[in-house]
Amino acid sequence: MFARIRPFLPHEGDDNVPFVHPSGETTLQIVRGKQESKFQFDRVFAPSAGQDAVFDEVSEFVQSALDGYSVCLFSYGQTGSGKTHTMTGTGSGAMRGLIPRSIEQIGLHKKKLDQEGWEYTMECSFLEIYNEAIRDLLRDSKSSECKHEIKVGADGRRTVTNLTVKRIDPNDTDSIDSVLSRAAKRRSTASTDMNSVSSRSHSVFTLTITAKHEEMNKMISGTLNLVDLAGSERLDRSNATGQTAKEAVAINKSLSSLTDVFAAIGEHSKHVPFRNSKLTYLLQPCFSGDGKTLMVVNISPTEESVQESMCSLRFASSVNKCELGKAKRTFTKVR
């Protein structure tokens, strides 16, 4: 579990006093008058930490997908806390987020492994879960939306029907930029009092990796899921109305379902309510002990967001205590 405190935004003024402070590489605290609340995580990023610093910490985790593991990385937090910036970022330079940086790293390692006799095939999909309905972010046009259902194979793996799956070369930057640009244009957003470009859905980028080595008679399969969760919000702050308010209710409900899943896992419950939301049902294999899961909780430093920040950090602390089991590699013989 990592925590990232975003800097103040230009419209928030230059003379603001932060209410969330990093107090070391693994601790942070919220100060409210004479009250102090401290939290500890595996890594805490100060507002000055750039996109490169965050990726450096998750790069080994991303690498695990190439090694045959099922990997899932979440970006969590209230609306306006910087989740989409952390995951997607902007442009092609220093502001790039975890998704483009992860693809770039996988491409670099692929080149090295190609020289060692491995043959890699990579396919990607990009979807959003909007009001508990799955939407294909890589569809050809806005009018060609199909109905999508989650299917479970004999091995427990999830697939989504009618979903666009593109074979990609991670070293083809133009092709990658095209995929990410199309998904960004399709994603559901709206303006609220808390965020002028508020994501109204959970997005899931999935990269499926298959590699075989004829001489070694081995085949490896790995999956990388990069999830940008919609932000929790209070209607009395966002002042969302109509359809936007309905979206907020659906977002908060699905985030509550995610909380319930982690709570059940943490309590070693015999029943974990994966089916209560499309998000948790789709990603069930990542929570079920065989995969690797990492969450980055994004925090706003403003006084107005202290209540939401406390809720996010308490949730993150409970998730940090969950033991998902030992991850397993997926590899088989070629013949």
pLDDT digits (tens, 9 = 90+) for 287-320: 876 678 999 999 999 988 898 899 899 889 988 8
Question: Within a domain: residue 168?
Answer: yes
Domain total of the chain: 1
| Sequence-ordered alpha helix ranges (H) in 165-277 | 173-186, 235-238, 242-266
Q: According to the model, what pLDDT value does residue 193 have? A: 47
Q: How far apart are CA 108 and CA 121, in angstroms?
A: 14
Amino acid sitting at position 168: I
Q: Which domain holds residue 320?
A: 64-332
The tally of CA atoms less than 13 A away on the side-chain side of residue 275 is 3
225 located within any domain:
yes
pLDDT at 85 over 70: yes
pLDDT higher than threshold 70 for residue 143? no
pLDDT tens column, 213-268: 989 899 999 999 999 998 776 655 555 567 777 777 777 888 888 889 988 988 88
Closest by Cα among 270, 279, 271 to 251: 279
**Residue 197: Cβ-neighbour burial (10 angstroms; 0-12, 13-18, 19+):** exposed
pLDDT band at residue 169 under the 50/70/90 scheme:
very high
How many other β-carbons are positioned within 10 Å of the β-carbon of residue 327? 17
Highest mean pLDDT among 15-24, 129-138, 186-195: 129-138
Q: Is residue 302 part of a domain?
A: yes
Determine how β-strand 202-213 pairs with β-strand 158-160: unpaired
Please state the rounded mean pLDDT for residues 125-144: 86
For 227, the enclosing helix (H) or strand (E) is strand 218-228
User: What CATH number is given to the structural domain containing 137?
Assistant: 3.40.850.10
pLDDT at position 256, please?
87
Higher pLDDT: 162 or 318? It is 162
Residue 38 within a domain: no
- Greater confidence, 230 or 199? 230
Is 212 part of a structural domain of the chain? yes
Considering the chain, what is the average pLDDT of its residues? 87
Q: Is the pLDDT of residue 109 over 80?
A: yes
Mean pLDDT of 317-325: 81
Name residue, tokens 């987020």: 97
| Inside any domain, residue 285 | yes
In a domain? residue 229: yes
Q: First and final CA of the chain: distance in angstroms?
A: 39
